[in-house]
Protein backbone atom coordinates (compact mmCIF):
# COMPACT_ATOMS: atom_id res chain seq x y z
CA UNK A 1 0.00 0.00 0.00
CA UNK A 2 1.51 3.30 -1.06
CA UNK A 3 1.71 6.17 1.49
CA UNK A 4 -0.62 9.02 0.90
CA UNK A 5 0.51 12.43 -0.29
CA UNK A 6 -0.27 13.89 3.15
CA UNK A 7 2.03 11.45 4.87
CA UNK A 8 4.80 12.15 2.37
CA UNK A 9 4.44 15.90 2.89
CA UNK A 10 4.51 15.60 6.68
CA UNK A 11 7.54 13.36 6.57
CA UNK A 12 9.48 15.69 4.30
CA UNK A 13 8.57 18.73 6.50
CA UNK A 14 9.78 16.99 9.61
CA UNK A 15 13.08 16.11 7.93
CA UNK A 16 13.55 19.71 6.74
CA UNK A 17 13.04 21.07 10.25
CA UNK A 18 15.58 18.58 11.59
CA UNK A 19 18.11 19.74 9.00
CA UNK A 20 17.56 23.45 9.75
CA UNK A 21 18.05 22.93 13.50
CA UNK A 22 21.21 21.01 12.81
CA UNK A 23 22.54 23.79 10.55
CA UNK A 24 21.81 26.43 13.23
CA UNK A 25 23.67 24.44 15.89
CA UNK A 26 26.57 24.05 13.50
CA UNK A 27 26.70 27.74 12.71
CA UNK A 28 26.58 28.68 16.40
CA UNK A 29 29.44 26.35 17.05
CA UNK A 30 31.50 27.95 14.29
CA UNK A 31 30.77 31.62 15.16
CA UNK A 32 31.11 31.38 18.94
CA UNK A 33 34.59 32.73 19.90
CA UNK A 34 36.91 31.74 22.69
CA UNK A 35 35.67 33.42 25.89
CA UNK A 36 39.13 33.74 27.46
CA UNK A 37 40.56 35.39 24.34
CA UNK A 38 37.63 37.86 24.11
CA UNK A 39 38.00 39.00 27.76
CA UNK A 40 41.70 39.77 27.31
CA UNK A 41 40.99 41.84 24.21
CA UNK A 42 38.32 43.87 26.02
CA UNK A 43 40.65 44.59 28.95
CA UNK A 44 43.43 45.68 26.59
CA UNK A 45 41.10 47.99 24.71
CA UNK A 46 39.78 49.57 27.90
CA UNK A 47 43.30 50.12 29.20
CA UNK A 48 44.35 51.72 25.92
CA UNK A 49 41.31 54.03 25.89
CA UNK A 50 41.89 55.06 29.51
CA UNK A 51 45.55 55.79 28.84
CA UNK A 52 44.64 57.96 25.85
CA UNK A 53 42.07 59.89 27.88
CA UNK A 54 44.57 60.55 30.66
CA UNK A 55 47.14 61.83 28.18
CA UNK A 56 44.60 64.29 26.76
CA UNK A 57 43.77 65.79 30.16
CA UNK A 58 45.34 69.22 30.92
CA UNK A 59 48.52 68.96 32.91
CA UNK A 60 48.15 69.81 36.60
CA UNK A 61 51.08 70.38 39.00
CA UNK A 62 51.66 67.43 41.26
CA UNK A 63 49.85 67.61 44.54
CA UNK A 64 47.56 70.46 43.46
CA UNK A 65 43.83 70.22 42.71
CA UNK A 66 42.42 70.83 39.25
CA UNK A 67 39.73 73.50 39.40
CA UNK A 68 37.96 74.93 36.38
CA UNK A 69 35.50 77.34 38.05
CA UNK A 70 36.44 81.01 37.85
CA UNK A 71 35.14 82.05 41.27
CA UNK A 72 38.70 82.67 42.46
CA UNK A 73 39.31 85.30 39.78
CA UNK A 74 38.59 88.82 41.13
CA UNK A 75 36.37 91.08 39.02
CA UNK A 76 38.00 93.83 36.99
CA UNK A 77 36.34 97.24 36.82
CA UNK A 78 38.35 100.17 35.41
CA UNK A 79 36.72 102.50 37.96
CA UNK A 80 38.19 100.54 40.87
CA UNK A 81 41.18 102.62 41.94
CA UNK A 82 42.55 99.83 44.12
CA UNK A 83 43.35 97.54 41.18
CA UNK A 84 44.84 98.21 37.74
CA UNK A 85 44.89 95.96 34.69
CA UNK A 86 48.51 94.88 35.15
CA UNK A 87 47.93 93.60 38.69
CA UNK A 88 44.73 91.87 37.58
CA UNK A 89 46.44 90.02 34.72
CA UNK A 90 49.20 88.88 37.07
CA UNK A 91 46.59 87.44 39.43
CA UNK A 92 44.87 85.56 36.60
CA UNK A 93 48.20 84.07 35.49
CA UNK A 94 49.02 82.97 39.03
CA UNK A 95 45.61 81.34 39.47
CA UNK A 96 45.97 79.64 36.09
CA UNK A 97 49.30 78.08 37.07
CA UNK A 98 47.97 77.12 40.49
CA UNK A 99 45.01 75.13 39.17
CA UNK A 100 46.42 74.01 35.83
CA UNK A 101 43.90 75.78 33.60
CA UNK A 102 43.99 75.31 29.87
CA UNK A 103 44.04 78.24 27.44
CA UNK A 104 40.29 78.05 26.82
CA UNK A 105 39.35 77.82 30.52
CA UNK A 106 41.64 80.76 31.37
CA UNK A 107 40.06 82.99 28.73
CA UNK A 108 36.53 82.02 29.76
CA UNK A 109 37.11 82.65 33.48
CA UNK A 110 38.93 85.94 32.87
CA UNK A 111 36.51 87.46 30.36
CA UNK A 112 33.50 86.54 32.50
CA UNK A 113 34.92 88.76 35.28
CA UNK A 114 34.96 91.99 33.26
CA UNK A 115 32.64 94.59 34.78
CA UNK A 116 31.62 98.18 34.15
CA UNK A 117 33.37 99.84 31.22
CA UNK A 118 35.40 96.68 30.63
CA UNK A 119 32.21 94.71 29.99
CA UNK A 120 30.98 97.41 27.61
CA UNK A 121 34.32 97.30 25.79
CA UNK A 122 34.12 93.51 25.45
CA UNK A 123 30.59 93.61 24.03
CA UNK A 124 31.72 96.10 21.40
CA UNK A 125 34.49 93.89 19.99
CA UNK A 126 33.89 92.56 16.49
CA UNK A 127 36.00 89.46 17.08
CA UNK A 128 36.92 87.53 20.22
CA UNK A 129 39.06 84.81 18.66
CA UNK A 130 42.29 85.64 20.51
CA UNK A 131 44.80 83.81 22.66
CA UNK A 132 45.20 84.69 26.32
CA UNK A 133 48.40 86.65 25.59
CA UNK A 134 46.55 88.64 22.93
CA UNK A 135 43.69 89.30 25.34
CA UNK A 136 46.13 90.70 27.92
CA UNK A 137 47.68 93.03 25.35
CA UNK A 138 44.27 94.31 24.26
CA UNK A 139 43.15 94.88 27.85
CA UNK A 140 46.34 96.78 28.69
CA UNK A 141 45.91 99.02 25.66
CA UNK A 142 42.23 99.62 26.39
CA UNK A 143 42.66 100.35 30.11
CA UNK A 144 46.21 101.62 30.69
CA UNK A 145 47.43 102.38 34.21
CA UNK A 146 48.38 106.06 34.15
CA UNK A 147 47.95 107.15 37.77
CA UNK A 148 50.65 109.50 38.99
CA UNK A 149 52.81 108.10 41.79
CA UNK A 150 52.58 111.34 43.75
CA UNK A 151 48.79 111.14 43.63
CA UNK A 152 48.92 107.55 44.87
CA UNK A 153 51.18 108.54 47.76
CA UNK A 154 48.97 111.49 48.65
CA UNK A 155 45.85 109.33 48.64
CA UNK A 156 47.56 106.70 50.77
CA UNK A 157 48.74 109.24 53.35
CA UNK A 158 45.28 110.82 53.59
CA UNK A 159 43.67 107.48 54.39
CA UNK A 160 43.05 107.47 58.14
CA UNK A 161 41.07 105.09 60.28
CA UNK A 162 37.54 106.39 60.47
CA UNK A 163 35.64 106.60 63.72
CA UNK A 164 32.89 104.23 62.60
CA UNK A 165 34.94 101.48 60.90
CA UNK A 166 36.68 98.39 62.23
CA UNK A 167 40.43 97.84 62.25
CA UNK A 168 40.03 95.04 59.71
CA UNK A 169 38.30 97.27 57.19
CA UNK A 170 40.87 100.03 57.68
CA UNK A 171 43.79 97.61 57.36
CA UNK A 172 42.66 96.03 54.09
CA UNK A 173 41.88 99.36 52.41
CA UNK A 174 45.15 100.89 53.58
CA UNK A 175 47.03 97.79 52.44
CA UNK A 176 45.55 98.10 48.95
CA UNK A 177 46.80 101.69 48.71
CA UNK A 178 50.24 100.62 49.94
CA UNK A 179 50.42 97.89 47.31
CA UNK A 180 49.61 100.45 44.62
CA UNK A 181 52.59 102.50 45.88
CA UNK A 182 54.86 99.42 46.09
CA UNK A 183 55.47 100.05 49.80
CA UNK A 184 56.17 96.90 51.82
CA UNK A 185 57.83 95.72 55.02
CA UNK A 186 58.44 98.03 57.96
CA UNK A 187 57.70 101.09 55.82
CA UNK A 188 54.19 99.77 55.21
CA UNK A 189 53.78 99.03 58.93
CA UNK A 190 54.73 102.62 59.75
CA UNK A 191 52.17 104.01 57.30
CA UNK A 192 49.39 101.80 58.66
CA UNK A 193 50.13 102.77 62.27
CA UNK A 194 50.32 106.44 61.30
CA UNK A 195 46.73 106.35 60.10
CA UNK A 196 45.36 105.20 63.48
CA UNK A 197 43.92 108.13 65.45
CA UNK A 198 43.72 106.36 68.81
CA UNK A 199 46.93 107.38 70.60
CA UNK A 200 47.02 104.39 72.96
CA UNK A 201 46.51 101.86 70.17
CA UNK A 202 49.09 103.62 68.02
CA UNK A 203 51.66 103.47 70.81
CA UNK A 204 50.88 99.79 71.45
CA UNK A 205 51.22 98.96 67.75
CA UNK A 206 54.62 100.63 67.63
CA UNK A 207 55.70 98.72 70.73
CA UNK A 208 54.76 95.45 69.00
CA UNK A 209 57.72 96.07 66.64
CA UNK A 210 56.15 94.29 63.65
CA UNK A 211 58.30 93.67 60.58
CA UNK A 212 55.49 93.29 58.05
CA UNK A 213 51.81 94.27 57.69
CA UNK A 214 50.63 90.71 58.28
CA UNK A 215 52.18 90.67 61.76
CA UNK A 216 50.63 94.04 62.50
CA UNK A 217 47.24 92.74 61.42
CA UNK A 218 47.55 89.88 63.91
CA UNK A 219 48.02 92.49 66.62
CA UNK A 220 45.12 94.65 65.44
CA UNK A 221 42.86 91.65 64.99
CA UNK A 222 43.26 90.74 68.64
CA UNK A 223 41.62 94.05 69.50
CA UNK A 224 37.89 93.71 69.82
CA UNK A 225 36.52 96.16 67.28
CA UNK A 226 33.18 96.29 69.05
CA UNK A 227 34.67 97.21 72.40
CA UNK A 228 37.25 99.61 71.01
CA UNK A 229 36.51 103.18 71.92
CA UNK A 230 35.27 104.82 68.77
CA UNK A 231 36.00 108.47 69.23
CA UNK A 232 33.27 110.76 68.00
CA UNK A 233 33.78 114.48 67.53
CA UNK A 234 31.76 116.46 70.07
CA UNK A 235 28.54 118.00 68.90
CA UNK A 236 29.08 121.62 68.04
CA UNK A 237 26.04 122.65 70.04
CA UNK A 238 27.26 121.05 73.27
CA UNK A 239 30.76 122.38 72.69
CA UNK A 240 29.46 125.93 72.23
CA UNK A 241 27.24 125.63 75.30
CA UNK A 242 30.13 124.54 77.52
CA UNK A 243 32.34 127.28 76.14
CA UNK A 244 29.63 129.90 76.68
CA UNK A 245 29.17 128.83 80.31
CA UNK A 246 32.91 129.09 80.84
CA UNK A 247 33.00 132.57 79.34
CA UNK A 248 30.08 133.71 81.47
CA UNK A 249 31.94 132.55 84.56
CA UNK A 250 35.00 134.56 83.57
CA UNK A 251 32.97 137.62 82.66
CA UNK A 252 31.07 137.50 85.94
CA UNK A 253 34.26 138.05 87.92
CA UNK A 254 35.97 140.49 85.56
CA UNK A 255 33.08 142.25 83.91
CA UNK A 256 34.79 145.65 84.08
CA UNK A 257 38.07 144.39 82.60
CA UNK A 258 36.76 142.65 79.49
CA UNK A 259 36.61 144.86 76.43
CA UNK A 260 35.13 144.16 73.00
CA UNK A 261 37.12 145.53 70.08
CA UNK A 262 34.13 145.04 67.81
CA UNK A 263 31.50 147.27 69.41
CA UNK A 264 34.05 149.02 71.68
CA UNK A 265 32.07 148.19 74.83
CA UNK A 266 32.94 146.46 78.08
CA UNK A 267 31.35 143.29 79.41
CA UNK A 268 32.07 140.74 76.69
CA UNK A 269 34.76 139.61 74.29
CA UNK A 270 34.86 140.37 70.60
CA UNK A 271 34.14 136.72 69.70
CA UNK A 272 30.97 136.90 71.86
CA UNK A 273 29.81 140.20 70.44
CA UNK A 274 26.18 140.11 69.27
CA UNK A 275 27.14 142.42 66.39
CA UNK A 276 29.51 139.95 64.78
CA UNK A 277 27.19 139.33 61.86
CA UNK A 278 27.50 142.99 60.80
CA UNK A 279 31.05 143.40 61.97
CA UNK A 280 32.95 145.85 59.79
CA UNK A 281 36.11 145.26 61.75
CA UNK A 282 35.92 141.54 60.95
CA UNK A 283 35.72 142.43 57.29
CA UNK A 284 38.77 144.62 57.64
CA UNK A 285 40.68 141.86 59.35
CA UNK A 286 39.70 139.39 56.67
CA UNK A 287 41.02 141.76 54.04
CA UNK A 288 44.31 142.16 55.94
CA UNK A 289 43.56 145.54 57.61
CA UNK A 290 44.15 146.05 61.32
CA UNK A 291 41.04 147.45 62.95
CA UNK A 292 43.11 149.11 65.70
CA UNK A 293 45.44 151.30 63.66
CA UNK A 294 43.60 150.94 60.33
CA UNK A 295 46.81 149.88 58.60
CA UNK A 296 47.23 146.88 56.31
CA UNK A 297 49.81 144.12 56.55
CA UNK A 298 48.99 142.76 59.99
CA UNK A 299 46.09 141.82 62.24
CA UNK A 300 45.02 143.51 65.44
CA UNK A 301 46.42 140.80 67.69
CA UNK A 302 49.88 141.49 66.23
CA UNK A 303 49.53 145.27 66.05
CA UNK A 304 52.61 147.12 67.37
CA UNK A 305 50.31 149.90 68.64
CA UNK A 306 48.10 147.50 70.58
CA UNK A 307 49.44 148.47 74.02
CA UNK A 308 49.16 152.16 73.24
CA UNK A 309 45.61 151.62 72.05
CA UNK A 310 44.60 149.98 75.33
CA UNK A 311 46.27 152.72 77.37
CA UNK A 312 44.22 155.37 75.62
CA UNK A 313 41.08 153.39 76.32
Tens digits of pLDDT across the chain (313 residues)? 444 544 444 555 555 555 455 555 544 444 444 544 566 676 677 777 766 765 665 554 444 455 566 688 999 998 887 778 888 999 999 999 999 999 999 999 999 999 998 999 999 888 899 999 999 999 988 888 767 788 889 989 999 998 888 888 899 889 888 888 889 999 999 999 999 998 888 998 999 899 999 999 888 888 755 444 444 444 444 545 555 555 544 444 555 567 777 777 777 777 667 666 444 444 444 455 676 777 776 766 677 777 666 566 5
**216 close to 208: Cβ distance less than 8 angstroms:** yes
Instruction: Reduce the secondary structure of 245-303 to three states and give it as a string.
Output: HHHHHHHHHCCCCCEECCCCEECCCHHHCCCHHHCHHHHHHHCCECCCCCCECCCHHHC
Closest to 172 in 3D by CA, of 127, 221, 135, 211: 221
| pTM of the complete model beyond 0.75 | no
Amino acid sequence: MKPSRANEAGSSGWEMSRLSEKDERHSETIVSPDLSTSSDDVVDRLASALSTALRNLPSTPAGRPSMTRGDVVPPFNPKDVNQDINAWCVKVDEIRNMFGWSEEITIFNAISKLEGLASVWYKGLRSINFTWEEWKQKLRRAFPSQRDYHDLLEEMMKRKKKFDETFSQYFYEKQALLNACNITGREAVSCIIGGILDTQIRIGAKAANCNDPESLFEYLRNLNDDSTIKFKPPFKKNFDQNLTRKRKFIVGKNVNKIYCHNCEKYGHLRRDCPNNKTDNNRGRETSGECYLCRETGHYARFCPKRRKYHETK
